[in-house]
A = this chain, B = another copy of it.
Amino acid sequence: MASRLTRAPRRPAALALTMGDPAGIGPEIVLKTLADPRAVRGRALVVVGDRACFTAASRQLRIPFRLRDWHPELPLPPRGAVFCQASPPGRHAVPRPGRPGAASGRLAADAVVAAAALCNGGLTLGMVTAPINKDALRRAGVPYLGHTEWLAHLSGSRAHAMLFAGRQLKVVLATIHVPLREVPRRLTATGILEVTRLAHAALVRDFGVRRPRIAVAGVNPHAGESGLLGDEDRSVVLPAVRRARALGLDAHGPLPGDTVFRRALEGAFDLVVAMYHDQALAAVKTLEGFRAVNVTLGLPWIRTSVDHGTADDIAGRGIASAEGMRAALDLAAEMAGRR
């Protein structure tokens, strides 16, 4: 047993990078990121995926792929990138770019599951994920609509939330992939409070904000305009804000969803709790483009992701931008540095 005097050596702050769906731009943006010395220097990275897919992409796009193999039984080098094979090798064809399906979904899923195992085992502090294809995942038999809920399951996490971190704006979502007509009835004061608490904890621990000022957006136009435009702002959002304040959180709202993001980016708040998908993401993506990073809160480890899809229409053409992947890696490394 380690005594308090013989302090254990600091764990290497390694991060896993997943391949994404190999029929999309995942392998390309991972290769481009690895080719950027600023992205790799001083960091310990484990690229997780299928070597045949990376090798094929490397040849097609003429971007080198020279990582040496690493297995979880081996010691992890303190710096530089290594490769971890996630799928049983040699038994599958390499999916063609732009042709997602059960095969590409299976390879993408293997990478996510292997990266989660590395994180659960403490070998990596977190993972940065390349985009997957929901339909291909479904064909491969994965019963999740996306990474977020799936990783919560793989890590045994009870509560989780989706945060978007741009350069100017941080937003967390109270509901995610919910049809608009169901949003009002899916929102509960307890759910909004939980997301607010997760966001508060993340701001303090991962983003270095000492006393986060949190804005909670309303559900209805003008946050319900005193009930004239819907009741949920008074009956659901306001009680959540009151409970958050009773817990000592510096939470404010419900604030009108059209202006609250502007107020945050002008400095009034450190983060906005948005009530639903497009309210949050129309603001974030209009302002930040693909620079915004998707962060999963509530997991026992770090998880960041690009804020875009597999872009099958341009897969294999070498024109995908790795800006989002780079931003996701940089943010994960920044968060890891604070843990």
- Is the pair B229, A258 in contact by a Cβ cutoff of 8 Å? no
Oligomer copy total: 2
- Is the pair B177, A221 in contact by a Cβ cutoff of 8 Å? yes
Per-residue B-contact encoding for A252-269, CB less than 8 Å = 1, 0 else:
000001110110010000
Stretch from A66-74, A239-247, A278-286, A326-334 at the B interface: A278-286
CB-CB contacts below 8 Å: A129-148 with B: 134, 145
Q: How many residues of A contact B (CB 8 A)?
A: 43
CB distance from A21 to the nearest CB of B (A): 16
Bound-state CA distance A228–B179 (Å) is 8
- Is the pair B178, A180 in contact by a Cβ cutoff of 8 Å? no
- Is the pair A180, B262 in contact by a Cβ cutoff of 8 Å? no
Q: Is the interface of A mostly helix, strand, loop or mixed?
A: helix
- Is the pair B225, A134 in contact by a Cβ cutoff of 8 Å? yes
- Is the pair B262, A286 in contact by a Cβ cutoff of 8 Å? yes
Bound-state CA distance A280–B256 (Å) is 13
Within 8 Å by CB of A180, from B183, B258, B283, lies: B183
> Which chain B residues lie closer than 8 Å to A261 at the CB level?
282, 285-286
Bound-state CA distance A284–B228 (Å) is 23
Within 8 Å by CB of A289, from B176, B219, B262, lies: B262
With an 8 A cutoff between CB atoms, is A7 at the interface? no
Bound-state CA distance A223–B62 (Å) is 36
CB distance from A171 to the nearest CB of B (A): 10
Instruction: Kindly list 10 other residue pairs between chains A and B, CB separation below 8 angstroms, not including A181-B184, A261-B286.
Output: A177-B225, A178-B229, A179-B221, A181-B185, A258-B277, A258-B281, A258-B285, A265-B286, A282-B282, A286-B287
